[in-house]
Amino acid sequence: MDDISPSVERTAGPRTDAEDAELAFNVFAKSCPSRRTLEDVTGRWGSLTLGALHEGSLRFNELRRRIDGVSEKMLSQTLHSLERDGLVHREAQPTNPPRVDYELTPLGREVAERLLSLIHFVEARMPSVLDAQQSYDAARGAR
């Protein structure tokens, strides 16, 4: 029940490549690797990093300033994950002082586009969300 290969629950019959991909990697299944990747992408710092890089390549400390509140450590860690997933490319120049640029890969760009669609939508609807929160808080727990 806890098999190695990508989690799958299928019935039978032939399938298209598209079906295959979606069925083979199902985020709703606990042990599916797509879950980890989705978390890298949507995580607190991952989403903001991809969002920032969508506008163009940035250096380490530029990213740090752009993403208000991220620590050196978390940014470093986040960039490693995204690079490992093949979403971000790291370009280091062996100069002194060192200069390293980070930019999205083609795959990363596609991911970032979908992510930004979500981010922009949330930003645009914040007034509605804030209203809902006030109603909710007014109704129940003032805590």
Residue ranges binding its own copies (CB under 8 A): 6, 18, 21-22, 24-30, 33-34, 37-39, 41-44, 47-48, 51-52, 66-69, 83-87, 107, 110-111, 114-115, 117-133, 135-137
CB of 115 to DNA, least distance (A): 17
Query: 15: number of CA atoms within 13 Å, CB side?
Result: 12
Question: Contact between 100 and DNA (CB under 7 A)?
Answer: yes
| Residue 103, beta-bridge partner list | 89
Question: Contact between 27 and DNA (CB under 7 A)?
Answer: no
Stretch that binds DNA, among 5-13, 91-99, 106-114, 117-125 (CB under 7 A): 91-99
CA 35, CA 25: separation in Å to the nearest integer?
9
Both structure tokens of 41: 């992408």
Chain mean position to CA 84: 13
CA 49, CA 6: separation in Å to the nearest integer?
28
CB of 38 to DNA, least distance (A): 13
Question: Contact between 74 and DNA (CB under 7 A)?
Answer: yes
The DSSP line for 74-140 is HHHHHHHHHHHTTSEEEEEE--SS-EEEEEE-HHHHHHHHHHHHHHHHHHHTHHHHHHHHHHHHHHS
Out of 8, 15, 56, 61, name the contact with DNA by CB under 7 A.
61
| Contact partner at residue 37 from its own copies, DNA, none, CB < 5 to 8 Å by partner kind | its own copies
Question: Contact between 15 and DNA (CB under 7 A)?
Answer: no
What is the binding site for DNA (CB under 7 A)?
Answer: 43-45, 59-62, 69-74, 76, 79-80, 90, 92, 97-100, 102
